Structure 1
């Protein structure tokens, strides 16, 4: 599907303004999605730190790894490629990073 501006925008300034509004909406949604993903990381890591044994811990690790993976993807979609500071800030355990393939 292609996107075409309405024909009633006769001036290029109006077209640019409409595109700026669309770009602003897209950036706002990216930021909101990044915030929601970060909140999910915080929640899953808090549950993991509360603890658990055996199978329960494995489930918590899996949930935390999925949340961190989603957060990393959302960051990359926003143009943020380096995750070192985030790993330190959230204090993401090595066990979670290992599930993502980090060494």
Structure 2
């Protein structure tokens, strides 16, 4: 035999609808933030590839790229995406950048 909670103790249809709308908006914001973080990775890696030959300038470009990649990885994890191997290949993230994140 199963027991069901009385309907007057559950959420109302209006409350469910509001939660669905809020959840949808939160997912949209997560996706937008992930897109912005991905564009930042693209931009910093492009600058590193174009101007990364100068020794002093290279250190700053590596730091900027590592910060962008770190932020992107965090945003991916907030979206539930835990594995970054495909992203590392897709963006062709240099080992020097990954080493600054603690990768071996």
TM-score by length of 1: 0.88
Unaligned runs of 5+ in 2: 1-10
- CA deviations over 1:18-69 (Å, ceiling 9, x no partner): 0000000000000000000000000000000002311100000000000000
**Aligned position for 1:76:** 77
- CA deviations over 1:56-94 (Å, ceiling 9, x no partner): 000000000000000000000000000000000000000
Structure 1 segments of 4+ aligned residues over 2 angstroms from their partners: none
Unaligned runs of 5+ in 1: 1-10
**Aligned position for 1:45:** 45
| Residue 60 (structure 1) aligned with residue 61 (structure 2) | yes
Note the 1:16-35 alignment, pairs <5 A: 16-35=16-35
**Aligned position for 1:96:** 97
Aligned length: 93
**Is the radius of gyration larger for structure 1 or structure 2?**
2
How large is the RMSD of aligned CA atoms in angstroms? 0.9
**Aligned position for 1:7:** none
